[in-house]
Amino acid sequence: MRRKLAAGNWKMNGLSTDMGEVAALPTGLGVDVLICPPATLIDRMVRDPDTFVQVGGQDCHPNPNGAHTGDISAQMVADAGASHVILGHSERRQDHGETDALVRSKIEAAWSVSLVAVLCIGETEAQYQAGETLDVLRTQLAGSLPDGAAPGNLVIAYEPVWAIGTGLVPTMAEIESVHGFIRAELATRFGTDTADGIRLLYGGSVKPSNADEIFAVPDVDGALVGGASLKAADFGAIMMALDAAAKAISV
């Protein structure tokens, strides 16, 4: 049984004064909780005695060190105390021209220091309109996933680019079919046991108001949440919806 995961992606948001939002999250739920703050807050969040969450980075450089001003290596993310790192987010693909090959080398770097990679994949609006979603996802998975993917080192987030920060969400039937497709692709390459263990998150405009519906979709093992992860009231409500979905499955 895959344990559910509520992951928050703070993006370029969050100062030391926002740490209270994490401390205010509900505790004692039967789901994993991961917060990926800006790199400046990783160490602080890891050390904060009031937080119980796992902490992740939002990116890493493929090299362990070197002359790359402004970049952070996987080793540094791990050294700061993070357990996970988001890689291949569409905002990095768009803002920084990240390719599948680069994302693949970043995942290898993350794995070399035992970070769990949270790989983001998803189609643009134009690709969605053209009916190219599954082709895009197949290409992204093939190009960005190294050999050796396993439930312990990989989480995949399906994030349609057009759903991120827009309030738009695919239909539940679309999410179900895409997640089923991703799991089938993983099974073809890595075998059924591995594919069955890897958690698939949905991301893109997840909110307290749509969380129940999304978490009821088969093959959705949690969410990667941007805007609604910044406030404890919203993210806490999403965590509780996920906990309820997990309990509904286990009875």
Contacting positions for ligand PGA (CB under 6 A): 9, 159, 164-165, 203-206, 224-228
Cβ 9 to ligand PGA shortest distance, Å: 4
Active site residue 89: yes
DSSP strand pairing (222-225 vs 5-9): parallel
Residue at token pair 């909110």: 207
Active site residue 159: yes
Q: Closer CB to ligand PGA, residue 121 or residue 198?
A: 121
Cβ 15 to ligand PGA shortest distance, Å: 18
Options 21, 61, 84, 89, the catalytic residue: 89
Q: Closer CB to ligand PGA, residue 149 or residue 225?
A: 225
Of all residues in the shown chain, the one whose CB is closest to ligand PGA is 226
Cβ 94 to ligand PGA shortest distance, Å: 11
Cβ 223 to ligand PGA shortest distance, Å: 8
Residue 84: name the closest of 155, 172, 26, 139 by CA. 155
Separation of alpha carbons 74 and 80, rounded Å: 10
Q: Closer CB to ligand PGA, residue 141 or residue 225?
A: 225
Options 21, 91, 123, 159, the catalytic residue: 159
Beta strands in 131-240 (DSSP E): 154-158, 199-203, 222-225
The answer to whether 59 touches 87, Cβ cutoff 8 Å, is yes
Separation of alpha carbons 230 and 18, rounded Å: 8
CA atoms within 13 A on the CB side of 120: 29
Length of the chain: 251
89 Cα distance to chain centroid: 9
Strand partners, 200: 156
Residues recognised as catalytic: 89, 159
